[in-house]
């Protein structure tokens, strides 16, 4: 669970794929899910950009429920990762204070690896 004030979190995706976002080709890649409930409404920034991410990420956000919740946003390839290529992802969703969101760090086309996830609340 991510604190309301956000921050930067590291992780590794591995294993089988359980979820798929509406963008990118993430159906065969393993994912890691983070739960976040912001304390302030407005535009947040959620990203896997930078040297801490070493694979082609797909990032999506769901509200309400992890597997069946409505998708608030999805992004594939918005910024650079450790390779210097545009293979990391960034979302700038409008979030509501007190609403629980599920941030899904997924991979493109079977990709998996380590990542650095940064959440900046409104």
Cβ contact 75:91 at 8 Å: yes
CA distance 73 to 62: 7
| Domains of the chain, start order | 7-120 (2.60.120.380)
Please tell me the pTM assigned to this model.
Answer: 0.96
pLDDT per residue as tens digits for the range 106-121: 999 999 999 999 999 9
Q: β-pairing, 94-95 with 101-107?
A: unpaired
pLDDT at 36: 98
Cβ contact 113:57 at 8 Å: no
DSSP characters over 15-75? S------SSSS-TTS--EEEEE--SS-EE-EEE--STT--S-EEEEEEES-TTTSEEEEEE
Return the percentage of the chain with pLDDT > 90, whole number. Answer: 98
pLDDT per residue as tens digits for the range 46-69: 999 999 999 999 999 999 999 899
């Amino acid at each position: 669970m991510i604190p309301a004030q956000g921050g930067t979190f590291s992780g590794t995706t591995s294993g089988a794929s359980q979820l798929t976002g509406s963008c990118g080709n993430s159906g065969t890649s393993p994912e890691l899910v983070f739960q976040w409930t912001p304390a302030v409404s407005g535009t947040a920034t959620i990203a896997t950009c930078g040297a801490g991410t070493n694979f082609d990420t797909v990032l999506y956000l769901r509200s309400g429920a992890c597997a069946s919740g409505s998708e608030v946003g999805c992004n594939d390839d918005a910024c650079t990762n450790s390779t210097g290529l545009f293979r990391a992802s960034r979302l700038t969703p409008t979030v509501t204070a007190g609403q629980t969101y599920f941030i899904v760090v997924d991979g493109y086309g079977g990709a998996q690896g380590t990542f650095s996830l940064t959440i900046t609340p409104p």
